[in-house]
Amino acid sequence: MTDRSDPLCVEIDGLLAGGPTDEALTAVIDRLLARFGCAVGTLHALDADTGLLHLRAQRGLPEVVLGKVGRIPVGKGMAGLAAERRGPVRACNLQSDDSGVAQPGAKLTRMEGSIALPILHAGELRGTFGVAKPTPYEYTEAETELLLRAGAVIGKHLG
């Protein structure tokens, strides 16, 4: 069942109706970036055999960062922590974050306000996704809840 409480979830469901191809997942990232006014977005799928998160779609990542985020262990960096915790991981400013959630290479993105979220389906981890802005930003509870619902829709298709 698709979350009908927000047009974003309905749109994501439609984008993925033909399957979670790299093109469809990139279209999902593009839609999330537009909805939340972000400049960078990533989507990683969990490889159950290796336990690694594999980059399937992205927008806006500098070339120097791509090699660092292609495969991420669960528990490492914002995406890995979101997977491990099965909950959102936020950084108001990646450039000055000293909480330990962001890896040093995250500064190379030149982004500040960032959030990473798990992609879950029926309680099972399917991957993670995240969006970021080039300015300091704290995602509201309502925004976070909508992103989690969007992640559930993605998870329905990502298997």
In a domain, 128, yes or no: yes
Tell whether the model's pLDDT for residue 104 goes beyond 70. no
Structure token digits, residue 128? 């993670």
In a domain, 2, yes or no: no
pTM above 0.85, yes or no: yes
In a domain, 151, yes or no: yes
- Domain ranges, residue 26: 7-157
Identify the band that residue 36 occupies on the pLDDT scale cut at 50, 70 and 90: very high
| 113: CATH | 3.30.450.40
In a domain, 13, yes or no: yes
In a domain, 1, yes or no: no
Q: In the prediction, which pLDDT does 105 show? A: 61
Region 38-50: what's the mean pLDDT?
Answer: 95
> Domain tally for the chain?
1
Q: Are 94 and 105 in contact (CB under 8 A)?
A: no
Mean predicted lDDT score pLDDT of the chain? 89
Tell whether the model's pLDDT for residue 94 goes beyond 60. no
